[in-house]
Chains A and B, each alone.
Chain A
Amino acid sequence: GAVVSQHPSWVICKSGTSVKIECRSLDFQATTMFWYRQFPKQSLMLMATSNEGSKATYEQGVEKDKFLINHASLTLSTLTVTSAHPEDSSFYICSARDLTGEVNSPLHFGNGTRLTVT
């Protein structure tokens, strides 16, 4: 089945530093990838849509200068949390849809990256 790989699976960083999270589709290509954030005991919140070769589309209330997204190829999207603060500590999850599939075909999710900012 289609696999989405996230790296790292967990990271601890100091306040003020930046952290990059990678999301790769291993056996399919994706023109669009999605980034979600999930706080403990809450649901997933869509942060942004990553578009290959163009700018990401951010959901309302998500700072684009804080969460930098780059979708450089059909198999890789990266999310960089810049100048991280403790309130950015969360579970970040990416997902992707096979570009050969229909618009409503299933999304494939990575296993998430747990970010802890100290």
Chain B
Amino acid sequence: DAKTTQPNSMESNEEEPVHLPCNHSTISGTDYIHWYRQLPSQGPEYVIHGLTSNVNNRMASLAIAEDRKSSTLILHRATLRDAAVYYCILSESYTDKLIFGTGTRLQVFP
């Protein structure tokens, strides 16, 4: 399985933008980049995913580097409810399972 590398933790203040980085230097041409987040004692929640182009939805934006070896999840205005562990996952096109890495624990301060 292709691997991703994320910082263990990040901090932000409420209402500020947050940029969560992810490195995936061994990504193949057909791997999708997925982001999920997990709040304490809950199952993960889908955030966003993309292949090559930048993506936007109501929760976040995903910026994908031109060489696809890294990506950044952007939360435009962090709220206290965004405090969670954020997972960047590569999904191989020929299989539909997701293998989770260690993720980034985001703390948001009021």
Chain A residues in the interface with B (C-beta under 8 A): 4, 6, 32, 34, 36, 43-46, 49, 91, 93, 95, 97, 103-104, 106-112, 114
Contact = CB atoms under 8 A, between A and B. Distances in A.
A104 B91 contact: yes
Contacts of B102: 43
Interface of B is mostly: loop
Interface string B37-59: 01001111110010100000000
Contacts of A97: 96
Given A44-B38, A106-B46, 7 more contacts: A43-B87, A95-B98, A97-B96, A104-B51, A104-B96, A107-B46, A109-B43
Interface residues of B, number: 25
B95, B97, B99, B102: which has the most chain A beta carbons within 10 Å?
Answer: B97
Given A93-B44, A111-B42, A112-B41, A106 B100 contact: no
A112 B98 CA distance: 17
A93 B38 CA distance: 12
A58 to B, nearest CB: 12
Interface of A is mostly: strand
B25 interface: no
A32 B42 contact: no
A108 B47 CA distance: 11
Contacts of A109: 36, 43-45
Contacts of B95: 103
Contacts of B94: 103
27 contacts: A6-B43, A36-B100, A43-B100, A43-B102, A44-B38, A44-B100, A46-B99, A91-B41, A93-B43, A93-B44, A95-B43, A97-B96, A103-B94, A103-B95, A104-B34, A104-B49, A104-B96, A106-B34, A106-B46, A106-B49, A109-B43, A109-B44, A109-B45, A110-B43, A111-B42, A111-B43, A112-B41
